[in-house]
Amino acid sequence: MGDAVVGTIGIAPMEKLAAIGDAVNFASRIEAANKEVGTRFLVSKDTVSELDESFQVGRSFELPIKGKSGTHVLYEILGLNSV
């Protein structure tokens, strides 16, 4: 988790929505880790701690993340649990 700056860049009609910041970069690196471990949807340990029981959490992975020191625990999200 962390701060991000979100806003539009460019001049109309070529404006685009953009987000920048360490949290955005970390999320992008987590997304890229899906290919490495063969999953479809990974989230950080911080994100899992915010989820309720409606989410089905699968395997966990401890991986190095490019641009970050050490390893980080990531969790596979399998889908939603039946309510």
Residue identified by tokens 């970050």 is 68
**What's the average model confidence in pLDDT over 4-16?**
95
φ, ψ (nearest 5 deg) of residue 24: -65, -45
- pLDDT tens profile 13-64: 999 999 999 999 999 999 999 999 999 999 999 999 999 999 999 999 999 9
| Whether pLDDT at 82 is above 90 | no
pLDDT at residue number 83 = 65
One CATH from 3.30.420.140, 3.30.429.10, 3.40.50.2300, 3.30.70.1230 for 5-80: 3.30.70.1230
| Inter-CA distances, 51 with 15, 26, 60, 67, 77, Å | 33, 19, 15, 26, 10
pLDDT at residue number 47 = 94
pLDDT at residue number 1 = 73
Domain ranges of the chain: 5-80
Collapsed DSSP state (helix, strand, coil) of residue 38? coil
Rounded Cα–Cα distance for residues 3 and 75 (Å): 21
